[in-house]
Amino acid sequence: MGKSRISASMMCADLSNLTEVIKIFEEEGIDYLHVDVMDGEFVPNFGLGVDYIRGLRNLTNIPLDLHLMIKDPEYKLQWIGIKETDIVSIHYESTYQVQRALDWMKPFNCKRFLAINPATPICMLEEVLDYIDGINLLMVNPGFAGQKIVESTLKKAENIQKFLKENNKENIVVEVDGNITTENAKKLKNFGASIFVAGTSSIFRNSINDYKDNIKKLRNAIE
């Protein structure tokens, strides 16, 4: 399962004070910046793109957790400027050839994650266990911040934990994304999650003056 890590969801960060927000994240030892890349086709929203990613790199050395919610991601990987310290998630339904897409991610030496939506069956993980470093388990249908958890995903997290154990693949990391309140984070930690995407449900609550406190509360819940 490994150490618990926090990945701050940058779609929740106000652009007008981004530098200050990043400074807080560096001071508080935030592990990853979660970047939701959205193409308006795979999900019904447009999101953070190549220029935004380049801008973030200029602001900080915190590794990126690139969540690609785009169609045919394998053909777009070279646009992004992926670093070895990054996590890159692609969605099971975003390409006809998932194994090939995961293969094409290999030369970047990043951590390869497969993202699965609340209704994606977990049995298909069996065919990709040798291709991935982690699973990004969506607790909401992706595209928007501020949604409520799909309750069945809690049971699903527990089933994934069992499934990885049965397959001797407990080294595969489980990330959870969407409505990660401190309460949900606690439950999910018990089901084996170790990377927690923190958005409006936790660290971005209230104003920037509260972010440090919010981070401490989340960290207490998952340690």
| 177 counts as catalytic | yes
Q: Of the listed 36, 39, 65, 86, which one is catalytic?
A: 36
| 103 counts as catalytic | no
- Identify the sign of the CA torsion 70, 73, 78, 83: positive
Nearer to Zn ion, 86 or 177 (CB): 177
Nearer to ligand DX5, 145 or 154 (CB): 145
Residue 111 interacts, among Zn ion, ligand DX5, none and using kind-specific CB cut-offs from 5 to 8 Å, with: none
Burial class of residue 128, CB neighbours in 10 A (0-12, 13-18, 19+)? middle
Instruction: Please pick, from the candidates 59, 128, 145, 154, the single residue that binds ligand DX5 as defined by CB under 6 A.
Output: 145
Count the residues of the shown chain that bind ligand DX5, applying the rule CB under 6 A. Answer: 18
Q: Half-sphere exposure of residue 140, counting CA atoms within 13 Å on the CB side?
A: 18
Closest CA to 40 of 143, 116, 140: 143
Residue closest to ligand DX5 (Cβ):
199
**Candidates 64-72, 117-125, 151-159, 185-193; binding stretch for Zn ion (CB under 5 A):** 64-72
Closest CA to 207 of 28, 56, 16: 16
Token output for 188? 């999910």
Non-local CB neighbours of 34 within 8 Å, separated by 6+ positions: 7, 8, 9, 10, 65, 67, 177, 197, 198, 199
Instruction: Please pick, from the candidates 120, 147, 182, 194, the single residue that binds ligand DX5 as defined by CB under 6 A.
Output: 147
Token output for 65? 């957790």
Asked if 36 touches Zn ion (CB under 5 A), the answer is: yes
Asked if 67 touches ligand DX5 (CB under 6 A), the answer is: yes
Asked if 199 touches ligand DX5 (CB under 6 A), the answer is: yes
Asked if 112 touches ligand DX5 (CB under 6 A), the answer is: no
Note the residue count of the chain: 223
Q: Of the listed 86, 177, 210, 213, which one is catalytic?
A: 177
Instruction: Please pick, from the candidates 132, 197, 215, 221, the single residue that binds ligand DX5 as defined by CB under 6 A.
Output: 197
Residue 112 CB, shortest distance to ligand DX5, in Å, is 17
Distance CA 135, CA 152 (A): 17
Which residues in this chain contact Zn ion in the complex, by CB under 5 A?
Answer: 36, 67, 177
Q: Which residues are at the interface with ligand DX5 (CB under 6 A)?
A: 9, 12, 34, 36, 67, 140, 142, 145-147, 177-180, 197, 199-201
